[in-house]
Amino acid sequence: MKVKVCGLTDGNNIREIENAGADWFGFIFHPASPRFVAERPSYLPLKGIRVGVFVNPKIESVVQRADDFGLHIVQLYDSSPAFCRRIKNMGLKVVRALPANRDLDEAAAPFLEVADYLLFDTPSLQYGGTGKTYPWTWLNSYTGALPFILSGGITPDAAETIRSIQHTALAAVDINSRFETSPGIKNAAEVARFINTLKQ
């Protein structure tokens, strides 16, 4: 299982998270977020996958950020299936983020052909980073083959519970605000401990 550390902002901290063993590195390009990355940090990870997080963006914004940050994956909130397909046609992989509910098959259906991954996040007006979770039993309502990412309020102590989730489509875990010392700055020791426990 892969681990995505989202909401990174600082070059030195990014290097620490890379050394902690993260697989994916998330950069938020939504200006309303306290973890908004206005400019390229002093360091970007040399290993792993770089993910850009956008909320209903214009295509020009995605193109610019993908070029500036060397993105491999684009994570989209509030974007249509047609927009997701446009991003895929650019050669980038797409994560379509969806608010979790009791019928994930219904929520996922429009995006199964235009995304590479789904991300089930805690419902919120602020598009992630809430520190709040949802009942993970809701994951059982998803029967699709498209792999998904578990997100939403995951804590440093949740690794053992996540290991016990028996869902064949669970591909990655997204961690963010519950691992921070301040918005956009992660506690690298907590991240490393979580990764080691999850993957042992």
Q: Measured in Å, how far apart are the chain's first and last C-alpha atoms?
A: 11
| Annotated catalytic residue 84 | no
| CA dihedral for 185, 147, 159, 199, sign (positive or negative) | negative
Residues 69, 15: Cα–Cα separation, whole Å:
15
Determine how β-strand 148-150 pairs with β-strand 170-175.
Answer: parallel
Residues 183, 141: Cα–Cα separation, whole Å:
32
| Annotated catalytic residue 121 | yes
State the residue for tokens 């491999």.
Answer: 72
Question: Which is catalytic among the residues 23, 68, 84, 121?
Answer: 121
Q: Kindly list the catalytic residues.
A: 6, 121
